[in-house]
Amino acid sequence: MRIGELARAAGISTRALRYYEEQGLLPAERRANGYREYDEQAVLQVAFIQDLFRAGLPSGIIREIIPCAGSGQPEGDCAALVGRVREIRDRLAQQERQLAERRETLERYLAGAARPAGVDSHLHDLA
């Protein structure tokens, strides 16, 4: 299928598809007339790429994941890659905990349940 057909099937812009190709995430064959040609699996690969971007992975790691996620023989050190992805996941979980703590601190101040030690203020009046 051509780039416009893939864009419609995947619900993505042709610009994004060209970016994926530039980043080495989505292979395309070139016809003699210069048009890109994609196989039927490209729709699934685009969906997978989009999921990984939404998960916060950079294109460099996605490029390494793709050969490990295919149905054929994995290429590269997939075990080490899984470890790197777990580290990213763990950093995201830590960031979520920090954000929750910050939000809870603000909620306590807004509710008047917290005040800075040694300060006689009326921060709870912000609510």
- Is 64 in the same domain as 95? no
Q: Which residue segment(s) compose the domain that 102 sits in? A: 77-127
- Is 25 in the same domain as 53? yes
One digit per residue, the tens of pLDDT, for the chain of length 127 reads 999 999 999 999 999 999 999 999 999 999 999 889 999 899 999 999 999 999 989 999 999 998 888 766 666 788 888 898 999 999 999 999 999 999 999 999 898 887 776 665 555 555 5
- What CATH number is given to the structural domain containing 58? 1.10.1660.10
- Is 83 in the same domain as 125? yes
- Is 61 in the same domain as 33? yes
- Is 7 in the same domain as 48? yes
Is the pTM higher than 0.85? The answer reads no
- Is 38 in the same domain as 94? no
- Is 37 in the same domain as 94? no
DSSP per residue, the chain = --HHHHHHHHT--HHHHHHHHHTTSS--EE-TTS-EE--TTHHHHHHHHHHHHHTT--HHHHHHHHHHHSSS---S-HHHHHHHHHHHHHHHHHHHHHHHHHHHHHHHHHTT----TT----GGGG-
* pLDDT score of 13: 96
* pLDDT score of 17: 96
- Is 29 in the same domain as 91? no
- Is 85 in the same domain as 31? no
- Is 55 in the same domain as 90? no
